[in-house]
Structure 1
């Protein structure tokens, strides 16, 4: 199904993976570069997309839900970056703050319907308690990476800061999952 690669990267070199990925996507017009973000306000989405050259495809606001007060970042959304545009900086958007990078997820797909397919998956992953549907429709086991790959993602990327090596507080743990059934990015 997919291969997972985990590796440490020094925080000062944080943008290397996404910069290389951006250049790869820019070479193929059928590929699309998406980042899933969580923010406190919709204005933060507007500011980020304006500053880093992205386009907000959809967003979901949990502030009006019964459990909305529990969310530190109640607004989620999917942003697409045109990698052929020199003003586009998805790596800068992803890493513009520690809190933005943690919990954000990069996805590359060649399926034009991917954003619509990803919306319910990312929404459910972020807030399973707000699922609206019958018990039969509710996912029994849910792995967001499996679901995104099945929905058409060629790869996913995220970072974490847990389990850092002793004395290595300046490292990220990067997770890259590549769809094995597709070879476009090899």
Structure 2
């Protein structure tokens, strides 16, 4: 079970929540902050991690699969940010541009095996056309937030722009999901 929060945030205040989250994660050595990115090239991962102080843990390039032309951003990857390092700027990386922020996901976990556990889930969620298993191995109904919470993610966040009311052109909606089954953290 998890609680889902949705709220409108002014685009000018875009970094507020991630800055607060970064400081919270820095207070606990067992917590790790990750961002799942979808980018155009592997070089963009290199540039972004160098500029904002992240570490690319894994990536997958879908340019070599059939129908790859359907994917707008054919390279995905998981980047970890050391929140105790003052040079680390996950909010800056996430909001590098509006085009980059949409569809990417911030994840907080305390599981040291998380990067390996999440790779097949995020890969399948992004490009189910690239699934190479048998029909029996293929996931049934698949909702990525449920899958992330089932492997023990503490918190996940993403931003989107859709259904903006007439008076909210300079806002976007943030989706924050918090794992309720982790009572030991409260």
- TM-score of Structure 1 vs Structure 2, range by shorter chain: over 0.9
TM-score (norm: length of structure 1): 0.98
Aligned residue pair count: 186
Give the drift of 1:71: 1.6
Q: Does the residue aligned with 1:167 lie in a helix, a strand or coil?
A: helix
Give the drift of 1:152: 1.9
1:95 aligns with 2:95: yes
Cα 1:147–1:23 shift into 2, 3 Å: same
Cα distance in 1 for residues equivalent to 2:175 and 2:71: 25
In structure 1, stretches of 5+ residues that fail to align are none
Q: Partner residue of 1:145?
A: 145
1:21 aligns with 2:16: no
Give the drift of 1:168: 1.1
Q: Does the residue aligned with 2:3 lie in a helix, a strand or coil?
A: strand
* Deviation >3 Å, runs of 4+: 183-186
Cα distance in 2 for residues equivalent to 1:162 and 1:125: 20
Instruction: Report the aligned-residue RMSD.
Output: 0.9
Q: Partner residue of 1:69?
A: 69
Q: Does the residue aligned with 1:163 lie in a helix, a strand or coil?
A: coil
TM-score (norm: length of structure 2): 0.98
Q: Partner residue of 2:134?
A: 134
